[in-house]
């Protein structure tokens, strides 16, 4: 109950947020159009179901009648069995009760052969009759006797039939292979339904033979005179479906193709079946349940829909004439998310709608002034935070460098001290310039000065190689983004006494600038690199200012150390990554990969066309 109330409440809210014209259309649909369509559909479906039920009963009755006729033809095999079982001459013949060959042949010619011929000629569906005797007779030499009577050892069919006859008195078999079925005419073949029955002695004390009666299945189907009227008829035997071809001229079983495990499925296909008494077979009819007069019902529904649509269209035209001005004004307001707040052109009518438009234009003028003043204040705040962060780079290693110069002066290495002071002055001049943006050439020159100072301090134990194409020297980039990366290489790239080599290369792909800074140091493990890349990718530009306020444990040289073992420096890897995302967008920033044969490569990426924000 509570869910229904909540649904009604949500529907009311949705209707209130809908345009007026659409709201009127919804009311028309809900109160007039849909009830009429539902009623017509319900009535039409009732007619369809009633017609389908009648159609199913009619077809089932026809199929039941065909199954009864089918069963009556199968009873002829039973008639043959009862006639032969009651024939004393035949039973004596099977028991070898005659004293001479001449008596046996005479009995066959006068009492047995006429019965066989009469049964085959009078029963149109019986094609062949054979008897397999258990008592072998040496008197059978006549060709007809050899054809009709065979020794049980010459039984040509599956041994399962004999085993089944040991349990029951009769069994049947659907023969579709012409190579197996015994017949006189070897040139033609039609499917056979073969019945096997035990022939007993007169006192029923023992089995003396097996009777085989072959029924021509196509003749039975032809005599059924079944007219499917466009339906599909199947013969089901041992869970397999054999198609039956039925027309006015001929009805036959299609056995050349493999049987189906199930009739073809379809949305409108219906199956009805009827069992044939006397054999484990069924007649299955598949018909299309589509009603014959469905087209007429569909036309009635379409006419009703058209009749209901005409007044609805007139109603909408009248309503739209009065609400079009409000609709246009509403669309203009909705577009403000993309186009911004733009004044709306009012009409010359001095009515309530024009009054609303005038107040709206006055309001967006005030809002625009407030937005501009807020934007300027936010820009000033961002600039102040940025310069506060950049200023942290200046004293990063200056004290150690000055101490190194002092020591060279004391040991009278004045030339080296002079060169170091010159390079340091160039380095500090760039740092204290406090620019917001720079160029790749200026950044690489700054790195060159930084590395030269470091070489003096480390007695040339570090080597570096800078590569930048001519067309990339004037590309704009944020101020001081390379020094923290190079500083990390120097602090954590050393491995034993090996010389550290740092390679810096610049290249562009699809208007994206890539700066690779690689070393041949001890590197990092694969898991650490993946963790660091994930951290760089998930970091946003908002962390640029949060990092300035966060605290971390300081090392002895005054820098912050991260969990992966690499130091952040004064501005740090995260800071540089956040600034790149801040200026260019979240798809740019820093990534790491393993160097070959060892070491780490740090790649900075940013747009070639400059900053995305001013």
370 Cβ contact list (under 8 Å, min separation 6): none
Q: What whole-number distance in Å separates Cα of residue 309 and Cα of residue 36?
A: 12
Query: Which of the four pLDDT bands, split at 50, 70 and 90, describes residue 558?
Result: very low
Residue with tokens 């669309």: 331
Q: What whole-number distance in Å separates Cα of residue 166 and Cα of residue 449?
A: 108
Query: Which of the four pLDDT bands, split at 50, 70 and 90, describes residue 368?
Result: confident
pLDDT for the residue 563:
34
pLDDT for the residue 335:
80
589 Cβ contact list (under 8 Å, min separation 6): 536, 537, 539, 577, 580, 581, 604, 605
Q: Are 127 and 192 in contact (CB under 8 A)?
A: yes
If one compares 351 and 204, the residue with the highest pLDDT of the two is 204
pLDDT at 272 > cutoff 80: yes
Render pLDDT for 567-581 as a digit per residue (tens, 0 to 9): 344 347 887 888 888
**What is the CA angle 512-428-543, rounded to 5?**
50
Mean pLDDT along residues 493-497: 69
Q: Measuring CA to CA, how many Å separate 89 from each of 104, 112, 209?
A: 10, 7, 14
**Which of 604, 586, 611 lies closest to 486, judged by CA?**
604
pLDDT for the residue 395:
59
Query: Which of the four pLDDT bands, split at 50, 70 and 90, describes residue 165?
Result: confident
Q: Are 348 and 325 in contact (CB under 8 A)?
A: no
- In this structure, the number of other CB atoms found within 10 A of the CB of residue 384 comes to 10
Q: Are 269 and 286 in contact (CB under 8 A)?
A: yes
Mean pLDDT along residues 285-306: 70
pLDDT for the residue 593:
92
Q: What token pair was written down for 193?
A: 């339904």
Instruction: Output the DSSP codes for 86-154.
Output: T-HHHHHHHHT--SSHHHHHHHIIIIIHHHHHHHHHH-TTEEEEEEEESS--S---SHHHHHHEEEGGG
Q: What token pair was written down for 110?
A: 């006068």
Which residue ranges form the domains of the chain, and what is each CATH number?
87-222 (3.30.450), 394-607 (3.30.565.10)
Task: Give the lowest-confidence range in 132-136, 248-252, 368-372, 438-442.
Answer: 248-252
The fraction of the chain above a pLDDT of 90, given in percent, is 6
- In this structure, the number of other CB atoms found within 10 A of the CB of residue 250 comes to 10
Mean pLDDT of the chain: 78
Task: Give the lowest-confidence range in 130-134, 536-540, 544-548.
Answer: 544-548
pLDDT at 516 > cutoff 90: yes
Render pLDDT for 202-231 as a digit per residue (tens, 0 to 9): 888 889 899 999 888 888 888 887 776 778
pLDDT for the residue 555:
34
Phi first, then psi: give them for residue 172, nearest 5 degrees. -135, 165
**Which of 360, 321, 327, 338 lies closest to 18, judged by CA?**
327
Q: What whole-number distance in Å separates Cα of residue 510 and Cα of residue 572?
A: 28
Query: Which of the four pLDDT bands, split at 50, 70 and 90, describes residue 600?
Result: very high
Name the range with the highest mean pLDDT among 32-36, 366-370, 432-436, 442-446. 442-446
Task: Mark out the alpha helices in 263-411 (DSSP H runs).
Answer: 294-334, 336-339, 352-390, 398-410
Q: What whole-number distance in Å separates Cα of residue 90 and Cα of residue 224?
A: 33
Task: Give the lowest-confidence range in 77-91, 483-497, 549-563.
Answer: 549-563
pLDDT for the residue 389:
54
How many alpha carbons lie under 13 Å from residue 539 in its C-beta half-sphere? Answer: 26
Q: What whole-number distance in Å separates Cα of residue 171 and Cα of residue 8?
A: 69
Indicate the burial class of 119 (C-beta count within 10 angstroms; 0-12, 13-18, 19 or more). Answer: middle
Q: What token pair was written down for 101?
A: 């060959």
Query: Which of the four pLDDT bands, split at 50, 70 and 90, describes residue 49?
Result: confident
pLDDT for the residue 369:
81
Query: Which of the four pLDDT bands, split at 50, 70 and 90, describes residue 290?
Result: low
If one compares 509 and 25, the residue with the highest pLDDT of the two is 509
Termini Cα distance of the chain: 57
Query: Which of the four pLDDT bands, split at 50, 70 and 90, describes residue 188?
Result: confident
pLDDT for the residue 554:
37
Task: Give the lowest-confidence range in 38-47, 82-91, 208-217.
Answer: 38-47
Mean pLDDT along residues 348-375: 79
Q: Measuring CA to CA, how many Å separate 289 from each of 63, 171, 230, 325?
A: 16, 37, 12, 53
Q: Are 368 and 341 in contact (CB under 8 A)?
A: yes
pLDDT at 590 > cutoff 90: yes
Query: Which of the four pLDDT bands, split at 50, 70 and 90, describes residue 344?
Result: confident
- State yes or no: cis peptide before 235, omega within 30 of 0: no
**Which of 413, 330, 284, 298 lies closest to 21, judged by CA?**
330
Mean pLDDT along residues 546-564: 38
The fraction of the chain above a pLDDT of 70, given in percent, is 82
Task: Give the lowest-confidence range in 8-17, 474-483, 530-539, 563-572.
Answer: 563-572
Render pLDDT for 430-485 as a digit per residue (tens, 0 to 9): 877 767 778 888 888 888 888 888 888 777 677 888 888 888 888 888 888 888 88
Q: What whole-number distance in Å separates Cα of residue 545 and Cα of residue 411?
A: 45
If one compares 381 and 103, the residue with the highest pLDDT of the two is 103
pLDDT at 552 > cutoff 60: no
pLDDT for the residue 217:
87
Phi first, then psi: give them for residue 543, nearest 5 degrees. -70, -10
Residue with tokens 């739209």: 320
pLDDT for the residue 386:
58
Mean pLDDT along residues 534-556: 54
If one compares 467 and 31, the residue with the highest pLDDT of the two is 467
Strand partners of residue 462: 500
């Amino acid at each position: 109950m509570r869910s229904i109330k909540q649904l009604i409440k949500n529907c009311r809210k949705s209707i209130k947020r809908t345009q007026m014209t659409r709201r009127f259309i919804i009311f028309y649909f809900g109160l007039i159009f849909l009830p009429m369509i539902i009623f017509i559909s319900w009535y039409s479906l009732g007619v369809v179901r009633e017609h389908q039920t009648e159609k199913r009963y009619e077809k089932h009755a026809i199929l039941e009648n065909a199954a009864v006729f089918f069963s009556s033809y199968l009873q002829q095999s039973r008639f043959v069995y009862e006639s032969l079982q009651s024939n004393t001459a035949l039973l004596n013949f099977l028991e070898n009760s005659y004293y001479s060959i001449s008596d046996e042949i005479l009995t066959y010619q006068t009492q047995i052969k006429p019965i066989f011929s009469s049964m085959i000629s009078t029963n149109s569906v019986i094609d062949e009759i054979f008897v397999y005797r258990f008592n072998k007779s040496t008197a059978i030499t006549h060709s007809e006797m050899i054809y009709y009577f065979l020794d049980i050892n010459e039984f040509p069919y599956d041994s399962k039939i004999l085993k089944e006859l040991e349990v029951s008195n009769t069994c049947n078999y659907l023969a579709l292979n012409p190579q197996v079925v015994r017949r006189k005419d070897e040139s033609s073949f039609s499917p056979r339904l073969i019945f096997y029955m035990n022939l007993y002695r007169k006192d029923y004390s023992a089995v003396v033979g097996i009777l085989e009666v072959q029924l021509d299945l196509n003749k039975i189907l032809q005599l059924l005179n079944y007219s499917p009227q466009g339906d599909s008829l199947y013969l089901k035997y041992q869970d397999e479906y054999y198609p039956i071809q039925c027309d006015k001229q001929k009805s036959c079983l299609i056995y050349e193709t493999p049987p189906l495990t199930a009739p073809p499925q379809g949305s409108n296909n219906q199956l009805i079946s009827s069992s044939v008494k006397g054999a484990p077979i069924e007649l299955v009819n598949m018909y299309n349940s589509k009603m014959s007069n469905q087209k007429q019902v569909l036309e009635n529904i379409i006419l009703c829909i058209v009749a209901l649509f005409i007044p609805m269209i007139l109603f909408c035209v009248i309503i739209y004439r009065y609400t079009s001005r409000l609709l246009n004004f509403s669309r203009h307001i909705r577009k403000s998310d993309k186009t911004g707040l733009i004044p709306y052109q009012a009409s010359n009518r001095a009515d309530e709608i024009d009054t609303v438009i005038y107040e709206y234009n006055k309001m967006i003028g005030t809002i625009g002034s407030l937005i501009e003043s807020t934007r300027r204040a936010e820009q000033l705040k961002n600039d102040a935070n940025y310069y506060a962060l950049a200023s942290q780079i200046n004293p990063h290693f200056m004290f150690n460098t000055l101490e190194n110069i002092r020591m060279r002066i004391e040991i009278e290495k004045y030339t080296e001290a002079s060169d170091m002071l010159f390079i340091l002055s160039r380095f500090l001049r760039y740092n204290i310039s406090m620019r917001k943006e720079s160029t790749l050439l200026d950044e690489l020159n700054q790195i060159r000065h930084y590395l030269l100072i470091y070489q003096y301090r480390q007695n040339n134990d570090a080597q570096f190689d800078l590569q930048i194409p001519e067309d990339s020297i004037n590309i704009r980039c944020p101020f001081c983004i390379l020094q923290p990366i190079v500083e990390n290489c120097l602090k954590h790239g050393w491995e034993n006494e090996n010389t550290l080599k740092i390679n810096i290369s610049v290249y562009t792909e699809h208007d994206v600038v890539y700066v690779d800074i690689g070393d041949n140091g001890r590197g990092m493990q694969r898991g650490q690199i993946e963790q660091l890349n994930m951290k760089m990718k998930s970091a946003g530009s908002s962390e640029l200012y949060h990092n300035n306020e966060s605290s971390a444990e300081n090392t002895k040289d005054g820098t912050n150390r991260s969990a992966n073992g690499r130091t952040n420096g004064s501005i740090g890897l995260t800071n540089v990554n956040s600034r790149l995302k801040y200026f260019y967008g979240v798809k740019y920033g820093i990534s790491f990969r393993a160097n070959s044969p060892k070491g780490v490569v740090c790649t900075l990426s940013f747009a070639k066309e400059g900053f995305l924000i001013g």
